[in-house]
C-alpha cells in the first residue's frame, strides 16, 4: 500500500522498529478519544504513552542514494529550514479538507521535521532477501498459533464482518498477522510528523501532501486518538497499516460509535480492511491461488504476471496441483509465479491474488498473506522445497550478471541491477545454450556459469 521506491522495499511498513517518541500535543479543542475506555476499544498496536523510549536515531546528514535533486544534503537542510513556512502554506488546502483553523494551529504548532526519514526513504539495501527468507520470517508456528487464537477470540466480530463484506476471515487475520504480527509491530513514529516531513522535504512531496492533509483531517475529526496515531516512517498506521489516503477511501465505522478507528477498534479495523478488499474486487468464496508443480518442459516465458490463462490451459501445459486435486473452477484465469525457478514451487495466482497485491505490491508478501490465510484455515505447509542452497544475488552481482549476459551477446537492455523481463529472457537463452532448464531464475549458479566457472 506504500509505493515508495524502485526497490519495492517493505521497509516503509511492517517491521519498523524505529524508536521515535510519540510527542503529538493533543490540546485545545481536541479531546483525546482513547481517554474514554470502552469494551471494544482495544489497544492493539500502540505504544503506551508512558513507555520510556530510547532517543531516536538522528539524520545522517548525508545526501540520499537516489541522486534526486531534492535529496542532496543541501536541499534537505534548506527544506528543513523552510519547514514551518511550508506547513503554514498548506492551511488553505487543509481548510478545504474540513480542518478548522483551531485544529490546524493546535496540530501544527511546534511540529518539527523528522529528518531521519530522508535516510530511510533513500536507503537501498545492497542485499535482498529471497522469497523463502521472507516466508520463513512471516509464516511461523507462533504466528499461525496466534492467528488461530485471534480468530477464536474475535469470532463474533469476524462473523459479522465476513457476512457484511464477503471477505474470507482468514485473509483478514492473515493481513493483520503479516503486516504487524497482529498489531505488535505497527510502528511508533507519530504519523502526522512523518507525513508532514515528507510533504515538505525530499523527493516525494507531492505524494505526501495529500497524506498530510488527510492525516490532519483524521485528527480533526477525532477518528483516531492522537497518541495512538503512530506507525511506520512512511505514515502507515494501525494493525493493518492503512495509509491516511487509504483510510479516507476505505475506513468504516463498524461499531457505530461515530468514529472510524482502525487503530483501537477491532470491529472498525477488520471491517475497514474487508471493505478495502471488497472495493478492490475481492471475489467471495474464491481462493487467492494454488501451489502447483511446474514441469521442466514448460516454456518459462509464460510465467509472467501479464499472462492470464485458464486453469484448463495450464493443465494442458502440464501444470498441476501438488496433491493432484482438480481446480475448483477450471475456467478461472490465473498467472503463473515461479519465484525460484524450476527447483522451487510454482503458484497459480487468481484474481484474488491481484486484489491482495493492490494492498501490498510485493509478491513475496502477498504470497505470505495468502499462505498464512490457508494455514489459519488448517491447511498445510507448501509441499515443494525451496532451493535453499541458492543465494540471492546482491545488487553488484546482478549488475555483473547483466554485464556478462551482454558480453555473451544477449540483449538485456540497459544494465540497471534489476531483473526485468529482458534480463530473464536473456538468462533463459543462456541456460538453453548451456543445456540447462531455461527457467530464467537469476541464481548464483547462473552467475558462476557466466563467469566461466
Ligand atoms: Ca467506530
Per DSSP, the residues of 5-73 read STT--STTSSS------------TT---GGGS--TTB---SPPPTT---PPPPPP--S--TT--GGGSH
Burial class (CB in 10 A: 0-12, 13-18, 19+), 444: middle
How remote is the CA of residue 40 from the centroid of ligand 1, in Å?
9
**pLDDT at res. 420:** 85
How remote is the CA of residue 261 from the centroid of ligand 1, in Å?
5
How remote is the CA of residue 45 from the centroid of ligand 1, in Å?
17
**pLDDT at res. 40:** 31
How remote is the CA of residue 35 from the centroid of ligand 1, in Å?
15
Q: Per-residue confidence at 129, pLDDT binned at 50, 70, 90?
A: confident
**pLDDT at res. 123:** 85
Q: How far is CA 193 from CA 17, 47, 216, 261, 441, in A?
A: 17, 16, 10, 19, 42
CA distance 354 to 281: 9
How remote is the CA of residue 269 from the centroid of ligand 1, in Å?
9
How remote is the CA of residue 270 from the centroid of ligand 1, in Å?
11
- The DSSP secondary structure of 250-284, one letter per residue, reads H----S-SS---TTTBHHHHHHHHHHHHHHTT--T
Cell for 334? Answer: 490465473
* Domain segments of the chain as ranges: 33-279, 395-450
* Residues 196-231 pLDDT 10s: 999 999 999 999 999 999 999 999 999 999 999 999
How remote is the CA of residue 240 from the centroid of ligand 1, in Å?
16
**pLDDT at res. 75:** 98
Which residues are CB-contacts of 210 (< 8 A; sequence separation ≥ 6)? 244, 245
How remote is the CA of residue 256 from the centroid of ligand 1, in Å?
5
* Residues 331-360 pLDDT 10s: 999 999 999 999 999 999 999 999 999 988
How remote is the CA of residue 250 from the centroid of ligand 1, in Å?
13
Ion ligand 1: residues, CB < 5 A: 253, 255, 257, 259, 261, 265, 268
How remote is the CA of residue 402 from the centroid of ligand 1, in Å?
52
How remote is the CA of residue 169 from the centroid of ligand 1, in Å?
19
The pTM score is 0.85
* Residues 412-424 pLDDT 10s: 988 888 888 899 9
How remote is the CA of residue 315 from the centroid of ligand 1, in Å?
47
How remote is the CA of residue 283 from the centroid of ligand 1, in Å?
26
CA distance 360 to 151: 22
Cβ-contact 393, 340 below 8 angstroms: no
Query: Rounded to 10 degrees, what is the CA torsion of 349, 350, 352, 354?
Result: 60
CA distance 170 to 2: 23
How remote is the CA of residue 223 from the centroid of ligand 1, in Å?
8
The packing angle between helices 169-180 and 266-279, to 10°, is 110
Mean pLDDT of the chain: 87
Q: Per-residue confidence at 128, pLDDT binned at 50, 70, 90?
A: confident
Work out the end-to-end distance of the chain between its first and last CA atoms, rounded to an integer number of angstroms: 42
Which residues are CB-contacts of 316 (< 8 A; sequence separation ≥ 6)? none
Amino acid at each position: 500500500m506504500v509505493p515508495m521506491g524502485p526497490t519495492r522495499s517493505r521497509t516503509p511498513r511492517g517491521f519498523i522498529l524505529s524508536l521515535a517518541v510519540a510527542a503529538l500535543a493533543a490540546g485545545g479543542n481536541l479531546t483525546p478519544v482513547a481517554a474514554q475506555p470502552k469494551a471494544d476499544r482495544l489497544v492493539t498496536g500502540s505504544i503506551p504513552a508512558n513507555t520510556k523510549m530510547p532517543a531516536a536515531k538522528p539524520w545522517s546528514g548525508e545526501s540520499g542514494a537516489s541522486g534526486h535533486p531534492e535529496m542532496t544534503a543541501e536541499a534537505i537542510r534548506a527544506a528543513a529550514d523552510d519547514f514551518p513556512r511550508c506547513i503554514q502554506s498548506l492551511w488553505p488546502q487543509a481548510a478545504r479538507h474540513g480542518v478548522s483553523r483551531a485544529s490546524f494551529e493546535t496540530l501544527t504548532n511546534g511540529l518539527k521535521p523528522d529528518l531521519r526519514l530522508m535516510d530511510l526513504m533513500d536507503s537501498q539495501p545492497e542485499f535482498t532477501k529471497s522469497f523463502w527468507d521472507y516466508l520463513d520470517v512471516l509464516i511461523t508456528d507462533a504466528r499461525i498459533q496466534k492467528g488461530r487464537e485471534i480468530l477464536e477470540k474475535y469470532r463474533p466480530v469476524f462473523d459479522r464482518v465476513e457476512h457484511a463484506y464477503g471477505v474470507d476471515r482468514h485473509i483478514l487475520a492473515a493481513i493483520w498477522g503479516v503486516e504487524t504480527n497482529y498489531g505488535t509491530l505497527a510502528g511508533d513514529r507519530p504519523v502526522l510528523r512523518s507525513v508532514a516531513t515528507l510533504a515538505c522535504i525530499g523527493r516525494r512531496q507531492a505524494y505526501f501532501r495529500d497524506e498530510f492533509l488527510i492525516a490532519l483531517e483524521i485528527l480533526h475529526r477525532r477518528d483516531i486518538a492522537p497518541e495512538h496515531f503512530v506507525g511506520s516512517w512512511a505514515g502507515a498506521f494501525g494493525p493493518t497499516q492503512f495509509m491516511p489516503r487509504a483510510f479516507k477511501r476505505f475506513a468504516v465505522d463498524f461499531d457505530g460509535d461515530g468514529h472510524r478507528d482502525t487503530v483501537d477498534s477491532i470491529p472498525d479495523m477488520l471491517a475497514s480492511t474487508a471493505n478495502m478488499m471488497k472495493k478492490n474486487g475481492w471475489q467471495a468464496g474464491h481462493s487467492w491461488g494454488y501451489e502447483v508443480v511446474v514441469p521442466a518442459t514448460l516454456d518459462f516465458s509464460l510465467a509472467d504476471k501479464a499472462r492470464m490463462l485458464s486453469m484448463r490451459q495450464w493443465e494442458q501445459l502440464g501444470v498441476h496441483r501438488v496433491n493432484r486435486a482438480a481446480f475448483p473452477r477450471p475456467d478461472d484465469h490465473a498467472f503463473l509465479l515461479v519465484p525460484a525457478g524450476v527447483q522451487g514451487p510454482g503458484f497459480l495466482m487468481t484474481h484474488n491474488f491481484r486484489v491482495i497485491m493492490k494492498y501490498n505490491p510485493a509478491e513475496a508478501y502477498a504470497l505470505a498473506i495468502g499462505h498464512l490465510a490457508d494455514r489459519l484455515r488448517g491447511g498445510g505447509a507448501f509441499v515443494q522445497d525451496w532451493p535453499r542452497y541458492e543465494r540471492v544475488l546482491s545488487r553488484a552481482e546482478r549488475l555483473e550478471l547483466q554485464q556478462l549476459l551482454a558480453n555473451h551477446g544477449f540483449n538485456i537492455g540497459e544494465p540497471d541491477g534489476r531483473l526485468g523481463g529482458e534480463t530473464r529472457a536473456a538468462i533463459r537463452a543462456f541456460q538453453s545454450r548451456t543445456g540447462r532448464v531455461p527457467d530464467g531464475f537469476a541464481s548464483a549458479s547462473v552467475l558462476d556459469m557466466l563467469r566461466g566457472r
